[in-house]
Structure 1
Amino acid sequence: MDWLKRMNLVLEYIEQNLDGDIDYKKMAQVASSSEYHFSRMFASISGIALSEYIRRRRLTLAAFDIQKSDLRILDIALKYGYDSVDSFSRAFKRTHGITPSTARKKGVQLKAYPTISFQLSIKGDTEMDYRIEKLDYDMRIIGKSKSVKTSRAFKTIPNLWNTAKKDGFMQELIDLSWENPKCTLESLLGICGKEAAIMDDEFVYFMGVRYDGEPPNDMETLLIPPSTWAVFPNIVEAWKRLYSEWVPTSGYELANLPCIECYYGPKHNPRHELWVPVLPK
């Protein structure tokens, strides 16, 4: 399958550049993926964050260099992207359990993280409900943004909404939301990635509602152009299966726009949906 080949080409690119600069935008291009989605897609399919995989591979090769060469520790640190011996030593010890200087001794135990490869696995024994929505107008959203660590997103985002409920921000959004809806995307919205820059360790989460009036002074405005969306009920389940199950077989590519988490009011069925921007292949 094309997506499988592209992801393995990304792994080749990483291996070829472990001792140099690794360009996240270049990786997204190799994968024919949008910048918004690449890091999350990699983590979903591989089971490890992209930055963590690169770090492990670099420290694996660094350990080989320490044991097999006479290079100075500083030179090895610089080779694998660390700007000082101290930062390299801390990372090395977290991975291998010993310092780089101790690793020079014969008989010490080190850890080697091999190159991963993507292979086809048979899934899909449980169906995924979805529908395609096309919105032919600019979507103007107002609200506030928060920085979220990717590894803690599933815990942090519910806490953000709980805080918004307690401090009155959620009610403020509800009061500003549309009384006469133009489409089904009328609710509290969580936009995953306000900007198109790849940030593997964290992203900007935007909490808001669709609104065409003048926004309050303490709120930002986000404009999303006319787009086609694949819509899935149950946000958590959809995130788990989107990249590894639905995208590879759907006939769609992910568009270079953020996903939107849509939280509806009481008695609405479903209670929440994930809106994913797509383009036909």
Structure 2
Amino acid sequence: MLQTKHKTRLDYGRRVALVIDHIADNLDGDLSLERLSGIACFSPYHFHRIYRSIAGETVADTVRRLRLHRAAGELARSAYPIERIARRAGYGSVEAFTRAFGNGHGEPPGAFRARFTPFRPTENGDDIMLPVTVKDFDGVHLATYPHRGNYHDIGRCFDRLAAWGGARGLFSTPRRMIGLYYDDPGSVPEAELRSEAGLEVEPDMPLSDGMTLRHIPAGRIATILYKGPYTGLDEVYRQLYREWLPQSCEEVGDQPVFETYLNNPRDVPASELLTEVSLPLKG
């Protein structure tokens, strides 16, 4: 009986992951109860309860969070009018969008657009540098889902990973969420960028189809602790590679750069997100 219940929960996790993929791919499309429950093959009378128990948030929360995340990217990387971005995010007025965006990101969209990254020039024109710490990393095994394309869109893979881990009860103990980033966005076409969303697991953890077990070995790393929305991470990489590394007398190791997410965008506004960017080093 216990084995049957376990298999049922794993199957529920797989079906909820299908819904999460559909939502991420169709933020402007059909997200009705009938459509989503049909994708998961759940009765519409029970779909919302099952989804919330597996995903850890309601469908409305997922849609709102992903639309606001897309809106933040458009504010930071496009010249679209705020009115257009508000409509795409599902808000009937700029005022409603401003309230929702402010609640999620800690500042109104206009202010976010003006200073979406916290790195501001000083009065003498120099950049404000965040401190780099060289330390020992303890190593970790990760269950990963691959992502191909714009790094800012990897969140959907982390949502799938959260559903997969939740169905297995993995979050009863603290586990690291880590993103692996293999390519330089300034050198590789966006469609070919390779990354992976990872969840800390035991090395013998059975994985589902499409997942890979990755091992980041113990060793020395150079890290920057960044506070703020994920759209500001590009500047962290610029400082780490262009400013710090050439002056450090360090050599990079044979592992990809990775990001450790120290809190959850479901729990805190984007302005309070903490991300540790880690560059593996030799020696």
TM-score, structure 1 normalization = 0.40
Larger Rg belongs to: 1
